[in-house]
Structures are given as structure tokens and as C-alpha cells.
């Protein structure tokens, strides 16, 4: 009987060690990632940094995991897919762009706000060229939620144009006009087409002021 009790004790001791040691190994891995400061925001920020350095087309989860010092599989504790991560990067890019476009315009007139938006648009593109390219690709590659976020940014421009006195139809026309002009200028500038003696900043301001002046002539308002 004593021998039987001793065997039961050994069996229980072995099972207890097995039960409690396995979870310690598993949770130790999570704790290790937590010590690295890994979370969804950190992953998105690091991904945006990589895209800024190497371009969207060269981005990979492998390089991202190397940058963060974790295994690629560990990323899936925070993101479900590359598509979800891309969407989060796009949202971050839109948030940064919105900060450039609309920060400090609260007390400005509608026409001054429009000028400020145009200046911020080019500034964002020059400071974040690869993120800007990512934003431009969103209508063809982004999900519905991300596209909606981009449309909200455009609708903010619509509100400014409405305050300038434009009709609903003209708001769409002018929005397309100025966005096309800004993107075209930025694309040509990056390609090196503006290498003459006249400063590109001056030319961009001239373009924007000319477009805004056309609005003032049509809808009223004093020159800047």
C-alpha cells in the first residue's frame, strides 16, 4: 500500500510539472515581445518607416520583423494579414497628410485656407514621398474603409470650397482641377523637370494663386 501511494505521488508530481511548465514557456514568448514594446501602433509606425526608406513595392513582412527584432510569425499576434497592415499604413498616411493640410486653418478665411491646404499638400509629398505614392495607389488597392477615409479628406476640401461660394457642381470640378494640378506639379518636380533658374517653390505658389484668383474673380473676395 505504501508503494502504491508513492507511485501515485510520483505520477502527480510529474503531471504537475508538465501542466505548469508548458504555459510558462508560452507566456514567456509573449512577455518577451511585450518587453520589446511591440503593439499594433508600433508595427504600423515601423512599417511606415520602412516604406519611407525603401518604397511601398519593396516592403515585406520579413524586413519588418527584422526591423522590430521578432520573428515574422509574431506579427500575426497583432495583425491578421498584410492587407490589414497596408490599410493601417494608409490610415496613418492620411492622418499625417490631414495634419499638414488643415492644421492652423481654424481662423483663416476660406481662400486663405485653400492656399494653406495646397501648400501643405506639396510639403507632405516632399517630406513623405513614398507614403504619398502609397496614398495615390489607394483607390485601386485599398479596402472600402480606407477609401472612405480618403474620401473624408476630400470632403473636407469640399467644405472649404463651399465656404468660398462654389455651387455643388463647381465644387467637384474645382476639386478635381486643383488636385490634378498639385499632383501633376509634384510628379514632374520629382522627375526633375523643373531645373531652370526659376525656383520651383515660386512656380508652385504662382500656380495655386492663379487657381484661387480664378475663384475670386468668379465668386468674389479680395486678393490674398
Q: Give the pLDDT confidence of 51-95 residue by residue, as tens digits.
A: 988 888 888 899 999 999 999 999 999 998 888 888 888 888 888
Of 115, 120, 80, 79, give the one whose Cα is nearest residue 100: 120
Domain identity same for 193 and 166? yes
Say if residue 110 is in the same domain as residue 204: yes
Name the domain count of the chain.
3
Domain extent, residue 44, equals 38-79
- pLDDT tens by residue, 156-197: 999 999 999 999 999 999 999 999 999 999 999 999 899 878
Report the distance separating Cα 122 and Cα 178, nearest Å: 12
pTM assigned to the model: 0.75
- Say if residue 99 is in the same domain as residue 181: yes
- pLDDT per residue over 93-139, tens digit each? 888 898 888 877 666 789 999 999 999 999 999 999 988 988 887 66
Residues comprising the chain, all counted: 224
Amino acid at each position: 500500500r505504501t508503494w502504491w501511494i508513492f507511485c501515485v505521488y510520483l505520477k502527480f508530481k510529474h503531471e504537475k510539472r508538465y501542466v505548469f511548465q508548458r504555459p510558462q514557456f508560452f507566456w514567456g514568448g509573449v512577455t518577451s515581445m511585450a518587453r520589446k514594446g511591440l503593439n499594433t501602433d508600433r508595427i504600423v509606425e515601423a512599417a511606415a518607416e520602412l516604406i519611407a526608406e525603401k518604397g511601398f513595392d519593396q516592403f515585406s513582412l520579413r524586413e519588418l520583423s527584422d526591423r522590430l527584432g521578432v520573428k515574422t510569425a509574431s506579427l500575426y499576434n497583432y495583425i491578421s494579414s498584410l492587407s490589414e497592415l497596408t490599410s493601417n499604413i494608409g490610415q496613418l498616411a492620411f492622418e499625417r497628410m490631414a495634419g499638414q493640410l488643415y492644421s492652423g486653418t481654424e481662423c483663416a478665411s476660406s481662400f486663405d485656407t485653400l492656399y494653406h491646404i495646397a501648400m501643405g499638400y506639396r510639403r507632405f509629398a516632399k517630406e513623405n514621398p513614398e507614403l504619398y505614392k502609397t496614398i495615390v495607389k489607394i483607390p485601386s488597392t485599398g479596402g472600402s474603409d480606407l477609401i472612405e477615409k480618403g474620401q473624408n479628406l476630400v470632403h473636407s476640401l469640399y467644405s472649404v470650397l463651399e465656404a468660398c461660394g462654389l455651387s455643388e457642381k463647381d465644387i467637384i470640378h474645382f476639386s478635381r482641377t486643383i488636385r490634378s494640378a498639385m499632383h501633376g506639379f509634384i510628379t514632374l518636380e520629382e522627375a526633375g523637370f523643373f531645373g531652370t533658374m526659376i525656383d520651383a517653390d515660386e512656380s508652385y505658389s504662382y500656380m495655386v494663386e492663379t487657381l484661387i484668383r480664378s475663384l475670386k474673380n468668379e465668386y468674389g473676395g479680395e486678393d490674398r
